[in-house]
Amino acid sequence: MASLKRIVSGAARAQLLITRHNIEDLRPIIGMPLVAVVALGVLVHSGKSELAPYALVAAVLMTIGQMGNFVASEIVFQDRNEQTLELLVASPAPYYFVLLARVLVLTSLGAVGALQAWLIARLCFWLSIPVHHPGLALVTLVAASVAASGTALLTTALFALGTQVRTFQNAINGPLYLLGGVLVPVAYLPAWLQPVSPFVFFYWAANLLRAAFLPGEPEHVARSLAAILLLGVATGLLGKLVLSRMLDHLRRDGGLGLT
C-alpha cells in the first residue's frame, strides 16, 4: 500500500513537471475559459445576467473535458512515441496506477478554469456571481475531475491503438457537451435526445454546479454525485481492461522494444 502511494505520488509529480514545460498541455486551461466571454456576452446582452452561472459552468466543465480528452488521452500515445512505455511496462509498478495518477493531475488542473471564468465575469463584465453552496461546487468539481479521468483512462488506451480512433477523439467532445447540457440545460434539447443525457457524467455535474449558484436547497445531491462517480469508475475500469489487453497484445506480438 505504501509503495502504491509512492508510485501514485511520484507519477503525479512527474506529470506536473512534464506539463509545466509543455505548452500543448496548457492549451485548454488558457483557451477554454474564453468560452465564458462569449456565453456571458450573450446572456448579459439579452438582459439575462442572472443566468451568468451557466457561462461559468460551461467554461469550467469544458476545460476539464478538454484536459481529459485532448491532453490526458494523449499520454499512452506519447509514452509509446517516446519509448517510455517500454520502461514503464518493464518496471514492477503497475502501469495503470501510474497512468491514473497522471490523468488525475491533468483533469484536476482543468478545474482552474472555474477561477478564470469567475475572474472573466468579474473583470470583463463587472458581475459578482455569488456561489451559494461553495462546498457543493467544490465536491462536484472534484467528482467531475474523477469522472473525466475515468473517461480519459478509456480514451488514452483507445487512442494509442491507431489513427482511426483520432476521428473519435475529435468527434466526441461536441456531442458530450451538448448531451451533457454543459452550456444549455438538457431541458432545451430536442425531446428525443434527452433520454441519453443521464449516461453522460457532464449532465449530473452541470446540474449540480448550476444548483450551487442558486440560493435554494440543492436537490438530489447524493444521487447526482453517485452517478458522476459511478460513470467515472465504470469508464475507468473499462479503460483498465482495454489497456491490459493492449499491453498483452504488444507483449505477445513483440510490439514493445527500444530502438
Do the Cβ atoms of 208 and 224 come closer than 8 Å?
A: yes
The minimum distance between CB 124 and other proteins, in angstroms, equals: 9
Region of 220 on the Ramachandran plot (φ > 0 left; ψ -120 to 50 alpha; else beta):
left
CB atoms within 10 A of CB 30: 13
The minimum distance between CB 120 and other proteins, in angstroms, equals: 11
The minimum distance between CB 21 and other proteins, in angstroms, equals: 11
Catalog residues that contact other proteins under the rule CB under 8 A.
23-24, 26-27, 30-31, 34-35, 37-39, 41-43, 45-48, 51, 54, 164, 166-168, 170-175, 177-178, 182-185, 188-189
Q: Which is nearer to other proteins, 55 or 144 (CB)?
A: 55
Q: Which whole-number Å values give the CA distances from 207 to 51, 60, 67, 220, 233, in the listed order?
A: 13, 13, 21, 10, 20
Q: Which is nearer to other proteins, 21 or 252 (CB)?
A: 21
Q: Which is nearer to other proteins, 35 or 112 (CB)?
A: 35
The minimum distance between CB 36 and other proteins, in angstroms, equals: 10
* Amino acid occupying residue 47: G
The minimum distance between CB 253 and other proteins, in angstroms, equals: 26
Q: Which is nearer to other proteins, 93 or 189 (CB)?
A: 189
SS3 content of the chain, % helix, strand, coil (to 5): 80, 0, 20
Q: Which is nearer to other proteins, 54 or 77 (CB)?
A: 54
Nearest to 146 by CA among 76, 258, 248, 234: 234
List the beta strands (DSSP E) in the chain: none
